[in-house]
Amino acid sequence: MIQFDQVTKRYPGGIDALKNLSFTIESGEMAFLAGHSGAGKSTLLKLIAGIERATSGRVMVNGHNLSRLRRSQLPYVRQHIGLVFQDHKILFDRNVFDNTVLPLDIIGFDRREATRRVRAALDKVGLGGKERVMPIRLSGGEQQRLCIARAVVHRPSILLADEPSANLDRAYALDIMELFKSFHQVGVTVVISAHDETLMEDYGRRIIRLREGQFAT
Amino acid sequence: MKHFLFLHLQSARQALHKILRQPFGSLLNLLMLSVALALPLSLYVGINSLQGWLGKLTASPQISLFMETSAEEADIAAVDRTLRGHPRVARYHFVSKAQALADLEKRNALTGLAEGLEGNPLPDAFIVEPRDAEPQALEMLQKELSGLPMVESAQFDADWAKRLYSLLELGRHLTWLLAGVLGVALVLITHNTIRMQILARREEIEVSKLIGATDSFIRRPFLYHAVWQAVLATLIAWGLTEWLVAIAGPAVSQFAQLYNEHVDLHGLRPAELLGVMAVSALLAMLGARLAADHQLRQIESS
């Protein structure tokens, strides 16, 4: 479960990215974050992932109060979260397999189980058989799928995606959304930020709309 | 536990591969570290070899008490009685003039030397080992013994030995000083190497942190890299030192033989080599740890 309780995030310079936000996303829920650039979507996702800390208020993720959690404990919370980045954050000096296996290495899976899981994740996102391919040889859509495979390979309880369909054509974007839907169907809490609301509306899920760091009315 | 060991093994293997994948860059680093290690090691080996020889010279200082050539049995017996009861004499032995001549002939291969001389010119002598090896006490005993009746002279020429000993002491201090300074250099060199590596892999570290890598997970390969570097550098430094011993050893032995002495330069013993390796690895790990912690803090705050 993700719970925000009167959360404010202020960046140096006095810019309030989020203002006094309170909401809850239940376990196994799929929710969308909508809003224009600068609305606070990415900041909100960063707060859930513990990448940023709230200036005030309380952020609860899987029972952990991230505002009070020690820095050294944060990695263990992140190990239960899958992150899909808008800019993919793929390591271009490693092949598809090595990129995907990274979360499993971090958690400490043995090689045989890790290999099995990587293959399953790559099959799931449609990159089966491309384990040895270097990311530079993948298309933009395939790179996004690789990023998704890496985000789900360790079977996280929460999956956060920041503009996963940005820079993709509609058909590709729908494919990606279908992938997220399939993860949600197996019980993963999915939070996706996007600014194309038509894409979200097709799924009939909760949409949290943000404007200038607050809920949009 | 099995997984913990697997992670360490994996990091160690990856770090070694990384060194081997960049042979030229790695070699330059290794040579720099090796030279830094070889300097104090060579000095240590030199001092250690000479120390064994000097130990023989100074372990039991001796005073040679030469009797006058005209001394008779009774005079010798009187001196013998004095020495036997002397509180500051640990032990002594008598070397008759005949025995001294025989020794001289034997040592210098001069058989029949006495036949060419008019009698035996050597005096009877007592070789005295003092109880107290302290220089002042030795000098006092030497003066006292030289005043005994029918004693021609009491010789104790320890000055050169003392000077050599002081020189070796200085060398030993210098070794430690050099080891200290170059130990710091080792830490700094490793610090810089690891800092550069972290900067080169910053993106990978950032991504790893985002997906849940702990600091120890990120640090581990860098620490192993530093350990491998230190171990390989120590082995190269050892090779350099052995080479130096092989080159300089014969010359030193030859020089010592001019003084009828036997000095052998010997390299590091296995235990010493392991000790140097362990200390180098620890210092390298310290440098790597400092660099990694500093860089991780910077990445965290950026």
pLDDT of residue A31: 93
Tens of pLDDT, residue by residue over B14-27, are: 888 888 888 887 88
Tens of pLDDT, residue by residue over B70-79, are: 888 899 999 9
Residue A81 clears pLDDT 90, i.e. is over it: yes
Percent of chain B at pLDDT exceeding 70: 87
Residue A211 clears pLDDT 60, i.e. is over it: yes
Here the tokens at position A48 are 């859930």
B46 and B176 in a common domain:
yes
pLDDT of residue B125: 92
B212·A150 Cβ contact <8 A:
no
Chain A residues with CB under 8 Å of B209 CB are 75
B246 and B217 in a common domain:
yes
Tens of pLDDT, residue by residue over B254-273, are: 887 876 677 788 888 999 99
Contact A65, A59 (CB under 8 A): yes
B242 and B186 in a common domain:
yes
Tens of pLDDT, residue by residue over A200-210, are: 877 778 899 99
pLDDT of residue B1: 66
Q: What is the mean pLDDT of chain A?
A: 90
Tens of pLDDT, residue by residue over B212-222, are: 999 999 999 99
How many C-beta atoms lie closer than 10 Å to residue B39's C-beta?
19
Question: Residue B107 sits in a domain of what CATH number?
Answer: 3.30.70.3040
B76 and B48 in a common domain:
no
pLDDT of residue A61: 95
pLDDT of residue B227: 94
How many C-beta atoms lie closer than 10 Å to residue B67's C-beta?
23
CA distance A194 to A189: 17
Confidence at B56, pLDDT banded by 50, 70, 90 = low
Confidence at A191, pLDDT banded by 50, 70, 90 = very high
pLDDT of residue B214: 92
Residue B121 placed within a domain? yes
Identify the domain boundary among B156, B182, B210: B156
B167 and B152 in a common domain:
no
Residue B4 placed within a domain? no
pLDDT of residue A24: 94
B209·A81 Cβ contact <8 A:
no
Residue B88 placed within a domain? yes
Tens of pLDDT, residue by residue over B85-122, are: 899 998 899 999 888 888 877 776 666 666 666 677 88
Average pLDDT over residues A111-130: 93
CATH architecture of A30-53+70-215: 3-Layer(aba) Sandwich (3.40)
Average pLDDT over residues B163-173: 75
**Nearest chain A CA: its distance from B217 CA (Å):** 7
How many C-beta atoms lie closer than 10 Å to residue A69's C-beta?
16
Q: Which segment of A86-90, A191-195, B56-60, B120-124 scores lowest on mean pLDDT?
A: B56-60
Instruction: Report helix, strand or coil for A45.
Output: helix
Residue B2 placed within a domain? no
A214 DSSP β-pair partners = A211
The beta strand positions in A26-175, using DSSP E, are 30-34, 56-61, 64-65, 81-84, 158-162
Q: How many domains does chain B have?
A: 2
Residue B34 placed within a domain? yes
Residue B257 lies in domain: 11-55+163-301
Domain locations in chain A as residue ranges: 30-53+70-215
Interface test with B, best of A71, A78, A147, A153 (most B CBs within 10 A): A78
B20 and B42 in a common domain:
yes
Chain A residues with CB under 8 Å of B206 CB are 89
Here the tokens at position B154 are 């009491």
pLDDT of residue B159: 65
Identify the domain boundary among B123, B156, B189: B156
Q: Does B167 touch chain A (CB under 8 A)?
A: no
What letter does residue A206 receive in the DSSP assignment? E
Average pLDDT over residues B6-12: 82
pLDDT of residue B54: 64
B168 and B224 in a common domain:
yes
A25: nearest Cα among A213, A184, A139, A214: A184
B213·A106 Cβ contact <8 A:
yes
Confidence at B179, pLDDT banded by 50, 70, 90 = confident
B211·A108 Cβ contact <8 A:
no
Between these two residues, B199 and B7, which has the higher pLDDT value?
Answer: B199
Structural element, H or E, at residue A198: helix A197-201
A103·B207 Cβ contact <8 A:
no
Residue B42 clears pLDDT 90, i.e. is over it: no
Identify the domain boundary among B110, B136, B156: B156
Helices A111-125 and A170-185, packing angle to 10 deg: 130
**Nearest chain B CA: its distance from A105 CA (Å):** 8
B170 and B226 in a common domain:
yes
Tens of pLDDT, residue by residue over B145-166, are: 889 888 988 887 566 556 666 7
pLDDT of residue B110: 67
B117 and B27 in a common domain:
no
Tens of pLDDT, residue by residue over B220-251, are: 999 999 999 999 999 999 999 999 999 988 88
pLDDT of residue B256: 77
What letter does residue A122 receive in the DSSP assignment? H
Secondary structure string (H, E, C) spanning chain B: CHHHHHHHHHHHHHHHHHHHHCHHHHHHHHHHHHHHHHHHHHHHHHHHHHHHHHHHHHCCCCEEEEECCCCCHHHHHHHHHHHHCCCCEEEEEEECHHHHHHHHHHHCCCCCCHHHCCCCCCCCEEEEEECCCCHHHHHHHHHHHHCCCCEEEEECCCHHHHHHHHHHHHHHHHHHHHHHHHHHHHHHHHHHHHHHHHHHCHHHHHHHHHCCCCHHHHHHHHHHHHHHHHHHHHHHHHHHHHHHHHHHHHHHHHHHHCCCCCCCCCCCCHHHHHHHHHHHHHHHHHHHHHHHHHHHHHHHHC
B296 and B271 in a common domain:
yes
B172 and B29 in a common domain:
yes
Of A76, A103, A108, the CB nearest to B7: A108
Q: Does B208 touch chain A (CB under 8 A)?
A: yes
Average pLDDT over residues A40-59: 93
pLDDT of residue B5: 79
Instruction: Report helix, strand or coil for A71.
Output: helix
CA distance A25 to A28: 9
B203·A83 Cβ contact <8 A:
no
Of A106, A108, A111, the CB nearest to B211: A106
Interface test with A, best of B211, B214, B302 (most A CBs within 10 A): B211
Contact A50, A43 (CB under 8 A): no
Average pLDDT over residues A60-67: 92
A-to-B residue pairs, Cβ atoms closer than 8 angstroms? 52
B242 and B139 in a common domain:
no
